[in-house]
Homo-oligomer: A and B are copies of this chain.
Amino acid sequence: MSTPARRGRPGYDLESLLQVAVKLFNERGYDGTSMEDLSRKLGITKSAIYHHVPSKEELLRLAVDRALNGLFAVAAETESFEGRAIEKLEHLVRGSVLVLVDQLPFVTLLLRVRGNTKVERAALARRREFDRLVTELVKQAEAEGDVRPDIDPAVTARLLYGMVNSLIEWYRPRRGSAGTELADAVCKIAFDGLRTQQGS
- A191 contact set on B, CB distance < 8 A: 193-195
- The residue of chain B having its C-beta at the shortest distance from the C-beta of A153 within the complex is B194
Given the interface pairs A166-B166, A188-B148, the reply to whether A177 lies near B195 with Cβ below 8 Å is no
Indicate whether A82 reaches chain B with its CB closer than 8 angstroms: no
Closest to A31 in B: B32
Residues of B close to A190: CB separation below 8 A: 189, 193-194
Choose one: B86, B158, B182, B199; the contact of A147 (CB below 8 Å).
B199
CB distance from A128 to the nearest CB of B (A): 11
Interface size for A (C-beta < 8 A) is 43
- Residues of A129-172 whose CB lies within 8 A of B: 138, 145-152, 155-156, 158-167, 169-170
Is A29 on the interface with B (CB-CB < 8 A)?
Answer: yes
* Interface assignment of A196: CB less than 8 Å from any CB of chain B: yes
Closest 9 A-B residue pairs measured CB to CB?
A162-B166, A193-B193, A146-B199, A192-B193, A163-B163, A191-B195, A151-B185, A162-B163, A191-B193
Known: A148-B192, A152-B177. 14 other contacts (CB 8 A): A29-B32, A138-B194, A146-B199, A148-B188, A150-B188, A151-B185, A151-B188, A155-B182, A159-B163, A159-B186, A160-B189, A160-B194, A161-B166, A189-B193
Query: What are some 18 contacts across the A-B interface (CB < 8 A)?
Result: A86-B195, A146-B199, A148-B188, A151-B185, A152-B177, A152-B185, A155-B182, A156-B194, A158-B166, A158-B170, A159-B163, A160-B189, A161-B166, A162-B163, A162-B165, A165-B166, A191-B193, A192-B193
